[in-house]
Structure 1
Amino acid sequence: MACGIPSINKLARLAFGGAQVILNNNPTVSGGSLQACSNPQLSCQNTTTVENLCCFNHPGGQLLLTQFWDTHPPTGPEDSWTIHGLWPDHCDGTFDASCDHRRNHRNITQILRAFGKHELLTDMHMYWKDWKGNDEYLWQHEFSKHGTCISTLNPECYDEYEPTQEVPEFFQRAVDLFKDLPTYQWLAEAGIEPSWTKRYTVHEIQAALSKHRNGSTVTLGCRRGALDEIWYHFNVRGSAQYGQYLASDPDGMKSRCPDFGIKYLPKSTGRVVGSTKRR
């Protein structure tokens, strides 16, 4: 059994310790079942040593759901941000990368189809876009560089492990989180909309997003003064696949935007604003 897997198949929000919790209530496991966890601690907030890293994300204790706003070339729907990835950061802002070269899979689409994740693939083709048009490469890169560094996704965390079963669970978790973080809608509600002429401040953007996260801020990314990336930070109680995600402030100083005069450009090929830097 998985650590703290609820029985209802939907996303729910809970109040926990004064912070927003995003909980994935999807008990479907792709192959073998996760090891059972008893009273898992909250990552980056534990006061005692945790030895079972199948129930506790470490050293990548803070998980980041990262989103793109690509405008040249435009990627994804005009009224939606797209997914960059799900990253495990150390609790100080540093991170590991490419932790298991044995799981450097080059056939993500085939793996997802083999596990019957057709709806997930449809969502990924819509929202998990590569700016050069090679979505498969981006998916491969994100799992090999970041997914293999999430301790609770390690094969030894599963009973009767079925090879590659952690792959669809990584992508499903990321897509589910993305759907519960509608950046475009939240910004639009605050009057922050794509424009060639309007300019915004860091304070305005942070206020528009933090109100949906019980005050927790995000990391903003800009290129040539234009907003192009947002990182949502979470501490997690239990596994990355099925644990409770609590909104958290950034674990390090990372923002790359000026305080004032931030552009939020439309997704249009009409003007060149530069390509997006990839992590």
Structure 2
Amino acid sequence: MPFYTPKSLLAIAVADLLAGATAGLIGCSTTDEVLSCHNTTEVTDMCCFNYPGGALLQVQFWDTDPATGPTDSWTIHGLWPDYCDGDYGEDCDTSREVSDVQTILEDQGRTDLLEYMEEYWLSDDESDNEFWAHEWNTHGTCINTIDPDCYTDYTDNEEVGDFFQEVVDLFKTLDTYTALSDAGITPSNDATYTLAEFQSALGDIHGGYEVTLLCDDDTVYELYYYFNVYGSAVNGTYEPTSPLEDSSCPTSGIKYPPKDSSSKKTKRAGRSQRGRKNQKA
């Protein structure tokens, strides 16, 4: 996975812009774009301004019991639009809920995307297809800049495929495992690490900003990268920003266990809809 730099962000934004134009998304003028969560006056073009979910979280899992995904990579949880104050909405448009993401992506010819998701976007409880549908229904429908009204010559579920492509593209720029490994933070049954060590390593791929790191007691299992966005969520420019939620890990003694290959679940095995404890899936 590539190292996360402003230059790579620009390249991704340009590529996504071209992809969005092909997909039929209404184009956004860069001269008129406003960074989400940063407007000082009313914004009228809501297809080019993420609101009210102006903070977008790229969420990743480190699953060890059972282990899911490659032993040398974190896996995808989703892309969540949160309000700029840390609150959030869910299930924002029940009329656009889906139950079979796999078939939607196959019908759109996104077989490469689907194959990648089958390796890096896995469930540890329900089927992967159910997990993907949950992420779209709960979070994707809350991203206002990919509403069907933001498309020209819209076709059914067009925005669903665009959503999953964007989540995967963003995930590829945030190689958590390598960033930690480069800083000497590697999975271990014996070693422990400090929260500051994690934040320093991950800040190197997140514009110097901290992330929200979640622990079950003292064992890390999930993290959130926060962004604000210029333009649409699927062809705009993602700018790293500070977290809106505190980490739940201790300041020291954090365990980062290896994925046990003997307990690794097979492809399409299942993922529970867990997320923020007592908050959001």
Is TM > 0.5 for Structure 1 vs Structure 2?
Answer: yes
- Partner residue, 2:26: 35
The amino acid of 2:166's aligned partner reads: R
> How far is the alpha carbon of 1:36 from its aligned partner?
2.9
1:141 paired with 2:134, answer yes
1:78 to 71, 80, 101: 71
Q: Which runs of 5+ in 2 are unaligned?
A: 264-271, 276-280
1:121 to 114, 119, 133: 114
> How far is the alpha carbon of 1:70 from its aligned partner?
0.4
In the superposition, relative to structure 1, how do residues 199 and 32 fare at CA in structure 2: closer, same or farther (>3 Å)? closer
- 3-state SS of paired residue (2:197): helix
Q: Distance in 1 between matches of 2:3 and 2:99?
A: 30
- Partner residue, 1:23: 12
- Partner residue, 1:254: 246
Residues 73 and 269, structure 1, Cα contact 8 Å, conserved in 2: no
Higher fraction of strand: 1
Higher fraction of helix: 2
Q: Distance in 2 between matches of 1:218 and 1:22?
A: 23
1:244 to 237, 244, 247: 237
In the superposition, relative to structure 1, how do residues 173 and 259 fare at CA in structure 2: closer, same or farther (>3 Å)? same
The amino acid of 1:72's aligned partner reads: D
Alignment deviations for residues 11-54 of structure 1 (CA, whole Å, 9 cap, x no partner): 995369xxx76733132349751223232100011111112211
Q: Distance in 2 between matches of 1:89 and 1:142?
A: 14
* TM-score, structure 2 as length reference: 0.88
The amino acid of 1:86's aligned partner reads: L
In the superposition, relative to structure 1, how do residues 182 and 243 fare at CA in structure 2: closer, same or farther (>3 Å)? same
- Partner residue, 2:260: 268
> How far is the alpha carbon of 1:56 from its aligned partner?
0.3
Which one is further off, 168-177 or 27-36? 27-36
1:112 paired with 2:94, answer no
Q: Distance in 1 between matches of 2:225 and 2:163?
A: 17
Residues 33 and 159, structure 1, Cα contact 8 Å, conserved in 2: yes
- Partner residue, 1:62: 55
Report the identity percentage.
45
Q: Distance in 1 between matches of 2:59 and 2:11?
A: 15
- 3-state SS of paired residue (2:164): helix
Q: Distance in 1 between matches of 2:241 and 2:11?
A: 11
1:95 paired with 2:84, answer no
> How far is the alpha carbon of 1:104 from its aligned partner?
1.1
The amino acid of 2:99's aligned partner reads: R
* TM-score, structure 1 as length reference: 0.88
1:166 paired with 2:155, answer no
The count of aligned residue pairs is 263
> How far is the alpha carbon of 1:262 from its aligned partner?
0.5
- 3-state SS of paired residue (2:255): coil
Alignment root-mean-square deviation, CA: 2.3
